[in-house]
Amino acid sequence: MVTLTLSFDPTVMHIVAADMLILFSYILYLFHKKRKIAQSITAITTFIQDYFQHTGAQVDVACFKLDSDKHFVTLIESEPLKRFRYSNILESNLIAHIQKKTGNTVEKIYWRFPVQVHELAALAKGKGPNDVETEAEDDYFVDVKVVEDHSHDYNVSEATWDDFKSSEKQDRK
């Protein structure tokens, strides 16, 4: 038979109590940090949705935190509109507004413009590729169709250096 005797003197009790207090404080800190990240993500997402709602564009927004503190990545999904064609310009303004209004730093905004493929649906119905209707809502699809129609006018091929020099001399005249 083995007997185990534990004696707790006041010094050991104080050390154990201090360790428990430190552990409890750290757990509370982790929960607080997680809640602050969730609040920041909600604030960024809500701000971006409100920002685009004023322009009449319907967007879906997702936000993720990077490893560094207060740096986020945002994913924006929108229907392909002509006004978003130069989204890199809009992106810098949006990042500045987010920083100003929410106090959070968005590192990068990624855009996604899913396009409904009407040609595949038309081919499945037995229509020819030229019978496909373009979207009347936005000029984006009309411009793409114009580029596709004129794409056969431009031809790229290999040329010798002498041909290049002779064409360059003709262009100068």
Q: Which sequence spans correspond to the domains of the chain?
A: 7-114, 117-152
Q: pLDDT value at position 3?
A: 81
Rounded to 5°, angle at Cα 72 from 68 and 78: 160
- Computed on alpha carbons and rounded to an integer, the radius of gyration of the chain in Å comes to 31
pTM for this predicted structure: 0.61
pLDDT tens-digit readout, 133-169: 544 455 565 665 665 665 566 666 777 888 888 888 8
Q: pLDDT value at position 31?
A: 96
Structure tokens, 63: 């936000």
d(CA 49, CA 115): 20
What is the assigned CATH class of domain 7-114?
Answer: alpha beta
Going by C-alpha positions, the residue among 138, 79, 141, 75 that lies closest to residue 114 is: 79
Structure tokens, 31: 């929960």
Helix, strand, coil % (nearest 5) of the chain? 55, 15, 30
pLDDT tens-digit readout, 78-106: 887 777 777 778 888 899 999 999 888 89
